[in-house]
Structure 1
Amino acid sequence: MKLLHTSDWHLGRSFHGVGMLDAQRDFIEQLVAFVRERSVDVVLIAGDVYDRALPALDVVKLLDDALVRITDAGAKVVLTSGNHDSAIRLGFASRLLERGGVHLRTRVEDLDSPVLFPLEGEAGETAMLAVYGIPYLEPRLVADKLGVEAASHFEVTQAAVRLIREDLSRRKETGPVHSVVLAHTFASGGITSDSERDVSIGGLGAVPLDLFDGFGYTALGHLHGRQELAGHVRYSGSPLAYSFSESKHRKGAWLVEVGPGGVGNIEEVLWQAPRELAVLRGKLAELLESTEHAWAESAYCQVTLTDPVRPAQAMEQVRVRFPDTIVLSFDPEGTDGKSKASYSARISEAEDDLGVCCGFLDHVRGRPADESEQQALLTALEAVRLEGAEL
């Protein structure tokens, strides 16, 4: 049996103001073609299917078309919700969709209810494959349901894994069962990028890798870089780059083969990017004249100019050679850049929502937020995030 591990589609997302629906359609074309070509049996989507809890109608239609085409190509789908999704909305009609081969795991109540697939070997040996889904678990909303007191990502994920292990143990009493777990979380050791929304604001949301020990394969979602953490614990990453920090990523997925003897070969799958990303830095004249940057003329560009004096009509001049420059910032040589940087450039460098808020406060009044002000902003951001998680 062949499983295709994907995650973080983020349907409906824009790239620095540039719409990405066409690029996302192109990715789905590649995925469906791969499913047909390689006879993939199950497509796994480990959360963040949508970019927003309330996706636009054309975005919902895109997912609908994708699921129909994947199942028409002969594959089943197992899908969990991420921190960008509304678990309730994404999980609508789950029992009906299951009849068509689309299995949604968005509820705490379904943690120990796996999707079961028979495994048959060439010599006649048989086993079962149990695919479990751990959706993004907002600690304060699910702690009571999971019977834990500490509202932390570690505690609720540990409780979810415990339920899965108990169910798996019972199933193994009647015959060989192999396990695959989908989980949308931040696992220790993962390499982050700028385009992920932190699963916790003001605290560590990471869970230890050994939490997933003993499972045949753990298909992680949340981090956008495809990476192997330990053994069979992997992130597929996002299928497209959603920030310039991902310009060096090789976007793709993992093709996982499972037989009666367990997980076998794991193969790297690569998706073709619709546009390259270029991160350019230097003085304006050098960037406009150097043949070294010829390849970037057709790419989406992030340009940082280091001229001691900001050039007049800088964006217009840059776009003469690099017409798809969508981020322009200034870092004059010989300064720390902060005093001369524009507000938009300063905000573009913010690492998270708190950084954006503090950058705005610094801009309008000329001094950074102190500790008490940062805490007040964290409290407000946490309240907004919790409200969004309940949608």
Structure 2
Amino acid sequence: MTLRILLILGALSAFGPMAVDFYLPSFPTLANVFGTDVEQVQLSLSVYFAGLAIGQLLYGPLADRFGRRVPLLVGVSIFTVASLACAFAPSLHWLVAARFVQALGGCAGMVVSRAVVRDLCDPVAAARAFSQLMLVMGLAPILAPLAGGVLLEISGWQSIFYCLTLFSAVAGLAIALWLPETIPAGPRPPLRGALGQYLRLFRDRSFLCYALTGGVAIAGMFAYIAGSPFVLIQLYGVPPEHYGWVFGSNAAGFVLMGQVNSRLLRYRGPGFWLRRAVWLYLACAVALLAVSLSRPAELWPLLLPLFGCIASLGFLMPNSAACALAKQGRHAGSASALMGSLQFSVAAGASAMVGVLHDGTALPMAMVIALCGVTATLFGWFTGQIAERTV
């Protein structure tokens, strides 16, 4: 895989983090502008996750039938137009609707980038490629909240969505000029068989367990994304323009562990490391819950286990994706779509649960993350029972 393709795939994978992390510092501002509270603004985040879950199911069969490029260009175009609509939102309802459409476009890059990696790589090489992609896409959660906080301070919340419009337009141009078609030559599955393909994947217990091991852990990260603006900015008084530094430090741990994972894959397969990383995630999640129950007066006791939770995803995300897609062959697009849809369905529920449980403390965020840690560990244990020890 060439560096150019890797960079394009990294940008496509960054659509999700960019569209989420960029506007997080603006939550309190949006609440004031639209005359509501932060919990209502969080609805725009949950709706975005729901759009990602639904949209990915559409792009998977399209990517298997028509190739990787055409669905990508359509999705990026939708994202560009919807981002501009967000910037002109006159009400919270408009913003929520535009965010849903934005998600329907943005998920094309997430589905197809995973399928392209599967087209070009064997399972171990795919896990390494996913780890390398995290180095590229990891810049998004590090830089996006920082840039979002600065733009919010200088130009207002609309400028955040103007930047997303520009980012997606440039990504679309790069796809059109430099991303080749990677789907293997030969007959392609018809669209009418898409439902049957999804049913086959639902019956594949190995695929489901690998997908959900990573997916439930990722849901914990999105609970953190949904809850952190309140916890950091309002509860502990972190200025919006400094919020990105805290958020970025956790993202840096995530990127670093992704690179460690890439090195460790020289010695054992992704399945081996996946089943061990879930225990690290669980330990950090339980520690976070224990600290939250004590309601510390300072922020740093919360940040330590939170850093461990996010950093452990550097092992969980690439290895779960590589294991889930390893045996899917020509149906990698549909498998990638279903995996992403399952993951973001859980993420939408987790982020919504943080808002529903809101009690003015960090406890709701910690409770949801701990629940995700327990569930991910159970799925990780099941993978060891029903799948090969290495993939």
Q: Which has the higher contact order (CA 8 A, sep 6+)?
A: 2
Which has a greater percent of strand? 1
Which has a greater percent of helix? 2
- TM-score (normalised: structure 1): 0.29
- TM-score (normalised: structure 2): 0.29
